[in-house]
Amino acid sequence: MACVWTAEPTTIYGEILKFVGWGLTTLGGAFIGSFLGSYMKKKGENVATHEDIGKLVDQMKAVTQATKEIESRISGEAWDRQKRWELKRQVLFDTLRRVAAVDDLLGDLDNILQTETDKPEVKNITWTQTLIDANTKWFDALAALEESQLLVETTCAKEVVDSISDYRGVMIPVGAKINKKDVDVYRSSRSDRTRLRSALRNAVRKELGIDRRD
């Protein structure tokens, strides 16, 4: 009769449980390892993303600050240019008004001369005072125009300065000749005075950037 070995149920069950426990432990460890690896990878990505966002925010702050500084500088430069242009415009407008005054007063001197030439009897004390007053205004107007020329020299191009100088260079001798009783000089100088006055106006328009429309 053969001898049959039979293991005790408790031992077999124990081995099975050990095997199952080992399998579960292995699977659990693999799962946990995989989970932890994925988690740490994701965590690292999140940290990197936050760092990138932080860097981007810093860069945006730097760009914003730089933009504000540039805008401020441009605004300041634009303001300076505008104020310089306004100053130039005021100087040139004052110059043109003074040119007109010189023209008018030179005409007054010639009218006085023509009147006393045609009617010598008008020459009395009152007339003499009228002549003195006219000459005073004439010289004051010339002085004012000279002052304008000095201001133009500091704010405008040479073309405008030269135009004023040329104009004064004709008007002063004409006024002097009228006072010396030259009855023809005002009329004979009309074309030169008109030409120089027109040249001065054109130079002013060019300086102010105004298109000329004839």
pLDDT 10s digit of each residue in the chain, 214 long? 444 434 444 455 555 555 555 555 555 555 555 554 565 555 555 555 556 556 655 665 666 666 666 655 655 566 677 888 888 899 999 999 999 999 999 999 999 999 999 988 888 888 889 999 999 999 999 999 999 999 999 889 899 999 999 999 999 999 999 999 999 999 999 999 999 999 999 999 999 888 655 4
Residue 61 placed within a domain: no
Residue 160 placed within a domain: yes
Residue 29 placed within a domain: no
Q: Is the overall model pTM greater than 0.75, yes or no?
A: no
Residue 46 placed within a domain: no
User: Residue 178 burial (CB < 10 Å; 0-12/13-18/19+)?
Assistant: buried
Rg (CA), the chain: 50
Range of the domain at 130: 75-208
Per the structure, the count of domains in the chain is: 1
Note the pLDDT of residue 214.
Answer: 47
Can you spell out the DSSP letters for 129-197? HHHHHHHHHHHHHHHHHHHHHHHHHHHS-HHHHHHHHHHHHHHHHHHHHHHTT-SSHHHHTHHHHHHHH
Note the pLDDT of residue 49.
Answer: 55
Burial 132-153 (b: 16+ CB within 10 A, else e): eebbeebeebbebbeebbebbe
Q: Report the CATH number that the domain containing residue 141 is assigned in CATH.
A: 1.20.120
Residue 158 placed within a domain: yes
Residue 148 placed within a domain: yes
Residue that has been written with the tokens 């125009």 in this structure: 145
Residue 159 placed within a domain: yes
Residue 165 placed within a domain: yes
